[in-house]
Chain A
Amino acid sequence: MELITSLLAGLWESSGFALLTWQNLVMIGVAVVFLFLAIAKKFEPLLLVPIAFGILLANLPGSGVMDDVTLSQAFGGDGTFAGTGHWYESGVLRILYAGVKSSIFPCLIFLGVGAMTDFGPLLSNPISLLLGAAAQLGIYVAFIIAILLGFTPQEAASISIIGGADGPTAIWLTGKLASHLLAPIALAAYSYMALIPLIQPPIMKLLTTKKEREVKMTQLRKVSKTEKIVFPVIVLVLIALILPSVVPLLGMLMLGNLFRECGVVERLSDTAQNAMNNIVVILLGVTVGATANGESFLKVQTLGIVALGLTAFVFSTVGGVLLGKVLYVVTKGKINPLIGAAGVSAVPMAARVAQNEGRKYNPTNFLLMHAMGPNVAGVIGSAVAAGFLLLMFSN
């Protein structure tokens, strides 16, 4: 009888029920809410499903998926081997997490994004680049507020990059400056990207007049194939010479774009856009989600990050729309200020929002291609902003 009792007691003690904390329960609830938003509401499901499942996996007590048996950081630590086990004995997601820590995943995502991006609208209307730059305003506003709230410069820089509305860029910079904040920053960045159709329209409406929203823009110039091939090469060299720190991200973005435009490596372009991108999204999403362990995630600081992320997003939209209004005046009504909001780099969600808002006030209006210019400019702009912050605060 005693043996049976001991066995049952042992079984109970090693079960997840005995190890379950209230933090685990809350995070499992968060994972379920994210899964609901992704599956039922279709909010960025390609990213939110793996992220939410990663949260779920990391908060199942005793699963050990994120255990680090080397005690020091499994990868990229101080180089000393202080643990009792080999790195390959760590949890499976901990091992995969090396792709995030080493920046491999964000860079590969950028390769895929580059292969999917048509810079044609940007090339036919270069003024779009200014809108893409103005829409990075939120990054710097959030940076100042984060410093005021007592975050370290590295943390403030990592939080503020949420305003760039670019998940891989946010993960890339945070992984380098403040990796302990990776989970809340990645979750805030992707959540706000998914919520763009809710966040942006009220700001766009508030800052523009009906007359401005009704502006129909003229047809875009046709861009030659040679221009599209030359663009990624020259732009990369130009930016790399000014801000070398941004090369890992922009280099991969432009390589992917060259695959797309050169027309002689269709297989590589197809792989970068589809198979490879999908694989990396799965690995990145699950491992980033798995960093959201209840004990480290459920802090007041996380609420601060979420609020700062929203502030950054709002000010980025404001920056883009305000410059759009300036250009509306300068060009004597040829530019619809709504496309400025697309300067945040969530491609193509932000451009779609500009299109939908434009059509509400003028059903014959078709702003999508005009908004794609600032939208892809925003990708470059946020990468440049991240490169600048890295250069300022690298450890």
Chain B
Amino acid sequence: MTITPQMLGIFTDIYGSYEAMTIGRALLIAVVGFLTVVCILALIALFIKLVAFIFSAVEKKNAKKVETIITPVENSPAPSAGNPLPEAESQGELELIGVDEPTAAMLMALVSYKTEIPLNRLIFRSIKLVEDEK
């Protein structure tokens, strides 16, 4: 069994006893203590910055890989400018290649939002993942 040795205070190690505390030494300890806190927390801040940089770089790389093909259907018979589907309805079949349903739903919502065309006026034929994640 190992026991961490009980350390005496650094102050006693240096000055022999606590009786040796003077206002000058108290000032010195206060300054060193405050700087220690600032330095340690600044180190953590730098570490967080580094981790955030790594994560954003990885995310950007992944975002480039996941390119999707979203093809609007030409000559779609049902939803058209003059004849949209009811808001809560959809029709036809959507082929998903390498993309799960939640991702597909998100992409369709994004296309709708960016093009400012309601979903009930859009039809998607397929959504395909161009390259697999490694």
Binding site for B on A (CB under 8 A): 122-123, 126-127, 129-130, 132-134, 136-137, 139-141, 143-144, 147-148, 152-154, 156, 221, 224, 226-227, 230-231, 234-235, 238-239, 242-243, 377, 380-381, 384-385, 388-389, 391-395
* Residue interface mask B18-48, A partner, CB < 8 A = 1: 1001010011011101101110111111111
Report A-chain residues with C-beta under 8 Å of the C-beta of B29.
143, 392
Interface pair A136/B40, CB less than 8 Å apart: no
Residue from A122, A126, A140, A238 in contact with B30 in the complex, judged by beta carbons closer than 8 Å: A140
Interface pair A224/B37, CB less than 8 Å apart: no
Report A-chain residues with C-beta under 8 Å of the C-beta of B27.
144
Report B-chain residues with C-beta under 8 Å of the C-beta of A140.
30-31, 33-34
B23 to chain A, nearest CB (A): 6
Complex-state Cα separation, A377 to B48, whole angstroms: 13
Could you tell me how many residues of chain B have their Cβ less than 8 Å away from some Cβ of chain A? 33
Complex-state Cα separation, A230 to B48, whole angstroms: 10
Residue from B7, B26, B43, B45 in contact with A156 in the complex, judged by beta carbons closer than 8 Å: B26
Interface pair A134/B8, CB less than 8 Å apart: no
Most A-side CB within 10 Å, residue of B48, B52, B55: B48
Interface pair A126/B48, CB less than 8 Å apart: yes
- A contacts with B: majority SS: helix
27 cross-chain CB contacts under 8 A: A123-B52, A126-B46, A126-B49, A126-B52, A129-B44, A129-B45, A130-B45, A133-B41, A139-B34, A140-B33, A143-B26, A143-B33, A144-B27, A147-B21, A147-B23, A148-B26, A152-B21, A230-B51, A231-B48, A231-B51, A243-B40, A380-B41, A381-B41, A391-B7, A391-B10, A392-B10, A395-B9
Interface pair A393/B9, CB less than 8 Å apart: yes
Nearest residue (CB) in A for B29 is A392
- Decide if B11 is an interface residue (CB 8 Å cutoff): yes
Interface pair B37/A133, CB less than 8 Å apart: yes
Residue from A144, A153, A388 in contact with B37 in the complex, judged by beta carbons closer than 8 Å: A388
Interface pair B36/A130, CB less than 8 Å apart: no
Complex-state Cα separation, A109 to B11, whole angstroms: 30
Complex-state Cα separation, A243 to B29, whole angstroms: 15
Interface pair B33/A393, CB less than 8 Å apart: no
Interface pair B37/A381, CB less than 8 Å apart: yes
Nearest residue (CB) in A for B27 is A144
Binding site for A on B (CB under 8 A): 6-11, 18, 21, 23, 26-27, 29-31, 33-34, 36-38, 40-49, 51-52, 55, 59
A321 to chain B, nearest CB (A): 16
B82 to chain A, nearest CB (A): 40
Report A-chain residues with C-beta under 8 Å of the C-beta of B23.
144, 147-148
Interface pair B30/A141, CB less than 8 Å apart: yes
Residue from A127, A134, A139, A393 in contact with B45 in the complex, judged by beta carbons closer than 8 Å: A127
Interface pair A238/B21, CB less than 8 Å apart: no
Complex-state Cα separation, A105 to B43, whole angstroms: 29
Ranked nearest first, the 5 interchain pairs of A and B with the lowest CB-CB distance are A140-B30, A126-B45, A126-B48, A147-B26, A133-B41
Interface pair B48/A130, CB less than 8 Å apart: no
Nearest residue (CB) in B for A122 is B48
Report A-chain residues with C-beta under 8 Å of the C-beta of B40.
133, 238-239, 242-243, 384
Report B-chain residues with C-beta under 8 Å of the C-beta of A231.
48, 51
Interface pair A384/B37, CB less than 8 Å apart: yes
Report B-chain residues with C-beta under 8 Å of the C-beta of A156.
26
Q: 17 additional contacts, CB 8 Å, given A126-B44, A133-B37, A224-B59?
A: A130-B38, A133-B40, A133-B42, A139-B34, A143-B26, A144-B26, A144-B30, A156-B26, A226-B55, A238-B47, A239-B40, A384-B36, A384-B37, A384-B40, A392-B10, A394-B9, A395-B8
Report A-chain residues with C-beta under 8 Å of the C-beta of B46.
126
Given contacts A144-B23, A147-B21, A231-B48, contact A377 B9 (CB under 8 A): no
Complex-state Cα separation, A36 to B63, whole angstroms: 58
Interface pair A137/B34, CB less than 8 Å apart: yes
Interface pair A130/B47, CB less than 8 Å apart: no
Report A-chain residues with C-beta under 8 Å of the C-beta of B18.
152-154, 393
